[in-house]
């Protein structure tokens, strides 16, 4: 009898493990967590401190405000995680590479990441280098710590795990899945405050609906995210049109 593979697991190193699972304990992620489709392990960095005060930080070398997480304490916390070498080792940081849907899909397809949540003025660079931490950003702004960013990353991954969303198609038409923002969505009532659902969506013509959705997605992307629009594949030199992404018309 073959044993089933271990579930996707997120291990979070934090000074505030009580922040987890937080919102990950409800809705789709929470149901999937309770049913064993994924696992969460929040570990207290202070458990790796060696002095009686459980100190994890110190003043920045060279002077300046705030405190910096110590390399030796954080390295010990990372090393205490089993099989860490086989898993992506991430650090949530505003100076990191921006998180993309493509990177989320890669992480969701793997065994699950180890995520380091910083606090104070940051983390000693030497542990980042020594343990090969991949710095990841969820946006061009600064939070009080990495925990909220880690919750965001985990949620983005968990919803892509097999069995979490009701339909396999649910994630295929969303923003960024094809380099485009998602097209507008509508449902009942047919008319809301004088605003009707576009007639094309009620036509029953799936080909026309798909074409309308693609056109809307392209228009929104060009207007709101010119960076994404500029990165879209252009028509080849031979004059052939680029292949449009397939949009499902299932509700």
204-234 per-position pLDDT tens digit: 999 999 999 999 999 999 999 999 999 988 6
Binned at pLDDT 50, 70 and 90, residue 8 comes out as very high
Arithmetic mean of pLDDT over the chain: 90
Q: What is the pLDDT of residues 106-117, one digit of tens each?
A: 999 999 999 999
- Give the whole-angstrom CA distance, residue 119 versus residue 13: 11
Higher pLDDT, 23 or 5: 23
- Give the whole-angstrom CA distance, residue 159 versus residue 34: 14
Of all residues in the chain, what percent carry a pLDDT higher than 70? 87
b/e code 210-249 from CB counts within 10 Å (16+ = b)? bebbbebbbebbeeebeeebeeeeeeeeeeeeeeeeebeb
The residues with which 192 forms a beta bridge, in sequence order, are 195
Q: What is the pLDDT of residues 100-151, one digit of tens each?
A: 999 999 999 999 999 999 998 899 999 999 999 999 999 999 999 999 999 9
Q: Is the pLDDT of residue 11 over 90?
A: yes
User: Residue 173: phi, psi to the nearest 5?
Assistant: -110, 10
Q: Is the pLDDT of residue 6 over 90?
A: no
Q: Is the pLDDT of residue 177 over 90?
A: no
User: Residue 58: phi, psi to the nearest 5?
Assistant: -155, 170
Fold equal for 8-158 and 172-231: no
- DSSP for 97-138 reads EEP-HHHHHHHHHSS--EEEE--TT-B-HHHHHHTT-EEEES
Q: Is the pLDDT of residue 27 over 80?
A: yes
Q: What local confidence, expressed as pLDDT, does residue 248 receive?
A: 40
Residues 6+ apart with CB under 8 A from 196: 190
199 neighbors 239 (Cβ within 8 angstroms): no
* CATH number assigned to the domain covering 172-231: 1.10.1270.20
Q: What local confidence, expressed as pLDDT, does residue 171 receive?
A: 53
Give the domain ranges of the chain.
Answer: 8-158, 172-231
Q: Is the pLDDT of residue 1 over 70?
A: no
- pTM reported for the whole predicted model: 0.87
Torsion of CA 22, 36, 158, 248, to 10 degrees: -130
Q: Is the pLDDT of residue 174 over 90?
A: no
Q: Which CATH class is domain 8-158?
A: alpha beta
């Amino acid at each position: 009898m073959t044993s089933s593979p271990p579930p996707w697991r997120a291990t979070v190193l934090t000074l505030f493990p009580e922040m987890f699972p937080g919102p990950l304990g409800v809705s789709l992620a929470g149901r999937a967590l309770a049913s064993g489709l994924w696992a969460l392990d929040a570990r207290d960095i202070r458990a790796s401190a060696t002095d009686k005060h459980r100190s994890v930080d110190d003043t920045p070398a060279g002077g300046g405000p705030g405190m910096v997480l110590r390399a030796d304490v954080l390295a010990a916390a990372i090393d205490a995680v089993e099989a860490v070498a086989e898993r992506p080792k991430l650090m949530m940081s505003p100076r990191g590479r921006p998180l993309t849907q493509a990177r989320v899909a890669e992480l969701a397809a793997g065994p699950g990441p180890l995520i380091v949540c910083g606090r104070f003025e940051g983390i000693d660079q030497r542990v980042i280098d020594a343990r090969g931490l991949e710095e990841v950003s969820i946006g061009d702004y600064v939070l009080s710590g990495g925990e909220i960013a880690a919750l965001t990353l985990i949620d983005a991954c968990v919803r892509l795990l097999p069995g979490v969303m009701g339909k396999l198609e649910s994630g295929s038409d969303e923003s960024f899945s094809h380099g485009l923002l998602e097209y507008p969505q509508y449902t009942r009532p047919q008319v809301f405050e004088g605003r009707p659902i576009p007639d094309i969506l009620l036509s029953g013509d799936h080909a026309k609906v798909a074409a309308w959705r693609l056109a809307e997605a392209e228009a929104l992307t060009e207007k709101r995210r010119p960076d994404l629009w500029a990165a879209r594949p252009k028509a080849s030199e031979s004059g052939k049109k680029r292949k449009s992404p397939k949009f499902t018309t299932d509700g």
